[in-house]
Amino acid sequence: MKLFLTLSAFTILIIGCNEPSSPSDYQKEVVVDGILVAENPIDSIDLHWTGEIDKFYDPASYAITNATVIITGVGFSFEDSLVHHSGIPGRYVTSDTTKKIVPTRTYALTITLPDGKMITGMTTVPDTFSIIASTLKNNDTVKYDTKAPLNTFEWSDSKFQGTYLPTLASLDDNAALIPKFFDRDTINNPKPSKIGYRIGLPKNQTNTILPWLFFNYYGSILCDIYAADDNFTDYLIQQNGGGELNQTRYRLNGAIGVFGSVARAHGTIKIYLTP
């Protein structure tokens, strides 16, 4: 599952362009995009070169297709050598879907480029947790009503999380748009598969409100909570205006981007939203 935000995924993930102060400052770098999900097989690791800021960026043209990508366990037996996906340039996928990511364990990423350059990263996967209280009930039909009380969620505590990330996912391919007076909420904008509606919650906050305005589509909606590790937490905050560019902490050696992990709460809630 590609998160985000999207959130790619959450996402919110890398657009593949570096941010030099001028085109003459451009230096090519490797961009890593990979999130491990607890209790799931490895989804993918994406590798691209950055592009010059004043030129059109075609991800396929900047894809790195001949790297060696290996994820290993730190202090326990685990190894998965990812293979390049022939249909998606720059994407590396697991060759063994029976290998699942274990909560609370630490995993190391090692990428070797054709020229011998190595890129490394490390993540400790947050622990499993559950939604324990919600004003939205699973499989209920809910009326969209901005005058109604705000919905709320509460969840049990995880471990090794940097923040919690509540998300909403519209599950219907042709879902009807909820009209709003925002430029981004127009029929001409592409429909995101998932959005994160509360980025930057305090590390230990285990509850949130869900304003009606964050519902953008009628139909089937999935409400999730993710516990994000420190790597992904830093990345999300900084990509959403939480830091100066020269202070960005990618937590990778030899590349920019993100190699992190999340755990998805048990007991997620699916509702059907009507006008």
Q: Is the pLDDT of residue 239 over 90?
A: no
pTM confidence score: 0.85
Looking at 37-46, 133-142, 198-207, 264-273, which range is the least confident one? Answer: 198-207
Looking at 52-56, 72-76, 270-274, which range is the least confident one? Answer: 52-56
Contact 146, 213 (CB under 8 A): yes
Name the average pLDDT for the chain.
86
What pLDDT, on the 0 to 100 scale, is given for residue 6? 37
Q: Where are the domains of the chain?
A: 9-274
Buried/exposed 9-26: b ≥16 CB within 10 Å, e otherwise: bbbbbbebbbeeeeeeeb
Q: Is the pLDDT of residue 83 over 80?
A: yes
Write the pLDDT tens digit of every residue in 87-122.
Answer: 999 999 999 999 999 999 999 999 999 999 999 999
Write the pLDDT tens digit of every residue in 225-238.
Answer: 999 999 999 988 87
CB hemisphere CA count around 147 (13 angstroms): 1
